[in-house]
Structure 1
Amino acid sequence: MTAPPEPPIRLTSAVACSPDTDVAVLWHIAYHVPELRKWLVANPKADAPLLELVSQRGGPGVRQALEILFESMEA
């Protein structure tokens, strides 16, 4: 190894809603970080299966985030 490994990703709301975040990280958040699930709803890379998992697992603010998403789709 010629260089040290990169430090672990610090999971924040910015990471959860960034379109640059790897999909595997988004799934990790959906499974393991309930306080960041609402931010996944705002991520353009969040597909239907990921949003379904977020909906099923819930967490602080998830219902409200999904309601806003669905309302924006109706407009």
Structure 2
Amino acid sequence: MPTPMTACDPATPADVLWIIARDHPQLRRWLVANPKASAELLEYVAQAGGPGVREALLILLG
């Protein structure tokens, strides 16, 4: 089971980040904090939403 630490860890493989983005909406906000998250992944997260995603994106893009 993925954790917030898995979602924001730059060592987490991209395919795992995508699984988190698709299947674990409660962890999407943590993907925003991952420096290795691709633009495509962040776009998906922004469109899919989830708890805290908007706030995390505002901080990132602030």
TM-score range, shorter chain: over 0.9
Cα distance in structure 1, aligned partners of 2:61 and 2:10:
19
Q: In structure 2, list runs of 5 or more residues that go unmatched.
A: none
Q: In structure 1, list runs of 5 or more residues that go unmatched.
A: 1-9
Cα distance in structure 2, aligned partners of 1:48 and 1:19:
14
Q: TM-score, normalised by structure 2?
A: 0.97
* Higher-helix-fraction structure: 2
2:5 is equivalent to residue 14 of structure 1: yes
The structure with the largest alpha-carbon Rg is 1
Mapping for residues 32-47 of structure 1, pairs under 5 Å: 32-47=23-38
How far does the alpha carbon of each residue in 1:45-71 deviate from its partner, in whole angstroms, 9 at most, with x for none?
Answer: 101100000001000000000000001
Cα distance in structure 2, aligned partners of 1:22 and 1:46:
10
Which aligned runs of 4 or more in structure 1 are off by greater than 4 angstroms? Answer: none
Number of equivalenced pairs: 62
Using the aligned pairs only, state the percent identity. 60
Q: Which amino acid aligns with 2:28?
A: R
Residue 44 (structure 2) aligns with = 53
**Over aligned residue pairs, what C-alpha RMSD do you find?**
0.5
Greater length-normalized contact order (CA 8 Å, ≥ 6 residues apart): 2
